[in-house]
Amino acid sequence: MFISDIRKEFYEVVANQRVALLVSSDIDALCACKILQALFHCDQVQYTLVPVTGWQDLGTAFLEHKEQFRYFVLINCGANVDLLEMLQPDDDSIFFICDTHRPVDVVNVYNDTQIKLLIKQDDDLGVPSYDDIFRDEEDEGDDSGNESDGGSEPSGKRRRFDEGAVERRIERQRERREWEARRREILFDYEQYEYHGTSAAMMFFELAWVLTKDTKDMLWWAIIGLTDQWVHDKITHMKYVTDIATMQRHVSRHNHRNEDEENSLSIDCMRISFEYDLRLTLYQHWTLYESICNSCYTSCSFKLWTLNGQKKLQEFLADMGLPLKQVRQKFNSMDMTIKENLRDVIEESSNKYGMKDIRIQTFGVHFGFKNRFLASDMVHATAALLESTEKDESDSDNFIKALDSLSRSNLDRLHSGIELAKKKLIAIQQTVASCICTNLILSQGPFLYCYLMEGTPDVKLFSKPMALTLLCKYLLKAFVHSTRNKRCKLLPLIMAAPKDVEKGTVIVVGIPPESETSDKKNFFGRAFEKASESTSSRTLHDNFDTSIIELKTEDRSKFLDALITLLS
């Protein structure tokens, strides 16, 4: 069921209890977890934090902890599957689910006792109404009641009644069949497309606001959670802009509270500001040139994998009057005269080169004399830490490191995250360039397909779901810009990369087609399931995003063939 008053029905219920937090491995979940942890620290609530990476992990974690905990809070996992059937909990376990995955499973919506959804009901959910899906079993009783009544009548009338009863029964059965067919159709439509809703971090920030315990740190984490959804292309542009407006109201409220006094605030205090900043990833922590080369937007617009593209980039820089020496220097050491009007200069020039949206609304934070970060910088840094492929580091170590990097006191961890993010972005751009230049993307009819061979440089980085999804999106954008085939521009993309060499598995990701007004709805989840069933391939649908699966390398070709037949 949906919770209407998050303070009374969630926070006050768990405030005096021990809670288990099961948190999924993405940045939005990490930010939501930080906010909730801060609230718990204020009120000294005992909790246990368990990072989970997939359904199997969730099941194991639940089994381990079900004896000791009654209350479970699931962040960014659990809403899109019938949780009670999967976990088989005792009757007194209560689950609070705050998840951005849609569609929410109908059983979770209509269960009144054990599942509480921390989701806003007006979040364009489109849940089918109760009567369309669930039907009580009373009708059978009426039938037999009529028959028994008919039985007590004298035999003369019995046949008539029997016929009447039989007709009614046939009528009812037909009606039931129609209802079931309609129900299947409704459920199919409802569950066909997978998409994402409002950020979990924003939900928990609202909880903090309602409790009047919101601080600037929590506001910053909520902003990072929202920006993560935008960076990883999970929400539409409209939704992003609407949510930014909501956050902007909070930011001005906090800033107004502090600049109110005529005495200024200490430089160490955190200041969040609204920025209409450039879409160049990490440009303030890198050189401007590298940032332009490695950001998806600029790299695809210039087509930097071709020689022509490189020339255009040089022209672009010359047009703005930026000397190459300056542009190849670390951003912080660039001349002040250049840095002052940089954003406006770049915007003017990029309009000439066809890049109309080089600037995007976002937020930046600034504390101390040295530390300035944009929200997207933090998302990239934390994502790189979360999915770092160093040896001897388990998933939970990476989770804890990424969680730590979000606090203000762990700046060196954040800086190491930024360095890792730079390497990851360079690897992505090089892979995109090589895939396009060697025509590795094949059109398979209803979709495009690309397979990363085992020997590709940095292929280990792409064995992780978030990194591979990012690569996939950049590749599709680049392909759309570079191909002349009009039909191919509207196709979705499926990408496969080796995941585990010993076990011989590949990770397969499917993303929807690239378009200006895309609603980011992904149908590959159901498609993958059906294809795997029909060919009995050995697949593991472990990720919380159903469009990301693990598959045995040998079954790759028959799986693809099944997909092609399914989707044509």
Partner 1 sequence: MDPSEVEFLAEKETVKIIPNFSLDKIYLIGGDLGPFNPGLPVDVPVWLALNLKQRQKCRIVPPEWMDVEKLEEMRELERKENTFTPVPSPYYMELTKLLLNHASDNIPKADEIRTLVKDIWDTRIAKLRLSADSFISQQEAHATLDNLTLMEINTIRTFLLDSLNCMYKLRSNLQPGSSKGKFADY
| Least Å from the CB of residue 206 to partner 1 | 17
Helix 27-43 to helix 216-231 angle, to the nearest 10 degrees?
160
Neighbour-count burial for 75-102, b at 16+ CB within 10 Å, e otherwise:
bbbbbbbebbeebebeeebbbbbbbbbb
**Residues in CB range of 372: below 8 A, 6 or more apart:** 284, 364, 365, 366
Q: How far apart are CA 207 and CA 218, in angstroms?
A: 11
Residue 266 sits in the site that holds partner 1 (CB under 8 A): yes
Of 218 and 375, CB closest to partner 1: 218
Q: Is 264 in the site for partner 1 (CB under 8 A)?
A: yes
- Measured from the CB atom, the residue of 183 and 271 that comes closer to partner 1 is 271
Residue 254 binds partner 1 (CB under 8 A): no
- The residue among 261 and 390 lying less far from partner 1, judged by its C-beta, is 261
CB of 46 to partner 1, least distance (A): 15
Taking the least distance from each CB to partner 1, the nearer of 371 and 416 is 371
H/E element, 188: helix 155-192
263 or 568: CB nearest partner 1: 263
Work out whether 485 is an interface residue with partner 1 (CB under 8 A): no
Q: Which window, 62-70, 121-129, 260-268, 334-342, contacts partner 1 (CB under 8 A)?
A: 260-268
Contact in structure between 199 and 229 (CB atoms under 8 Å): yes
Is there a contact between 253 and 272 (Cβ–Cβ < 8 Å)? no
State whether the Cα torsion 334-336-337-340 is positive or negative: positive
Least Cα distance to 218 among 366, 37, 399, 383 occurs for 37
Q: Is-contact 440 404, C-beta < 8 A?
A: no
Instruction: Estimate the crossing angle of helix 395-405 against helix 375-386, to 10 degrees.
Output: 160
Q: What is the dihedral of CA 226, 231, 233, 239, to 10 degrees?
A: 40
Minimum CB separation of residue 263 from partner 1 in Å reads 3
Q: Which stretch binds partner 1 (CB under 8 A): 27-35, 75-83, 266-274, 556-564?
A: 266-274
Nearer to partner 1, 67 or 261 (CB): 261
Site string for partner 1, 315-344 (x = CB under 8 A): ------------------------------
Does residue 12 belong to the site contacting partner 1 (CB under 8 A)? Answer: no
User: Could you say whether residue 438 binds partner 1 (CB under 8 A)?
Assistant: no
Nearer to partner 1, 172 or 213 (CB): 213
Q: How many CA atoms lie within 13 A of 518 on its CB side?
A: 20
Sign of the CA dihedral 85, 23, 208, 223?
A: negative
Candidate residues 4, 155, 263, 485; the one interacting with partner 1 per rule CB under 8 A? 263
When the beta carbons of 269 and 442 are compared against partner 1, the nearer one is 269
Buried b (16+ CB within 10 A) or exposed e, 38-73: bbbeeeebebebbbbbbbebbeebbeebbeebebbb
**In the complex, least distance from residue 32 CB atom to partner 1, rounded to whole angstroms:** 19
Give the helix ranges, DSSP H, for 260-306.
Answer: 288-294, 296-302
Q: Which is nearer to partner 1, 215 or 482 (CB)?
A: 215
Token pair for residue 178?
A: 């129609």
- Shortest separation between residue 217's beta carbon and partner 1, angstroms: 11
Taking the least distance from each CB to partner 1, the nearer of 44 and 485 is 44
Shortest CB 264 distance to partner 1, Å: 7
C-alpha to C-alpha distance for 317 and 326, rounded to whole angstroms:
11
Rounded to a whole number, what is the distance in angstroms from the first to the last CA of the chain?
A: 38
Binder of partner 1 out of 91, 122, 261, 392 (CB under 8 A): 261
Q: Of 367 and 524, which CB lies nearer to partner 1 in the complex structure? A: 367
146, 172, 207 from 167: Cα distances, Å = 12, 8, 57
**Which one among 88, 113, 173, 258 touches partner 1, defined by CB under 8 A?**
258
409 binds partner 1 (CB under 8 A): no
Per-residue binder mask for partner 1 (CB under 8 A), 199-238, x = binder: -------------xx-x-----------------------
Sheet containing 371-374: order of strands: 271-278, 359-367, 371-374
CB of 225 to partner 1, least distance (A): 21
**Strands, E, within 264-339: which ranges?**
271-278
* Least separation in angstroms between CB 205 and partner 1: 14
Residues within window 34-63 making contact with partner 1, judged by CB under 8 A: 41-44
Min dist CB 216 to partner 1, Å, is: 9
Nearer Cβ to partner 1 (250/285): 250
Residue 41 or residue 352: which is nearer to partner 1 going by CB? Answer: 41
Residue 267 near partner 1 by CB under 8 A: yes
- Quick one: which of 139, 178, 268, 357 contacts partner 1 (CB under 8 A)? 268
Q: Name the minimum Å distance from CB 188 to partner 1.
A: 48
**Site residues, partner 1 (CB under 8 A):** 41-44, 212-213, 215, 258, 261, 263-269
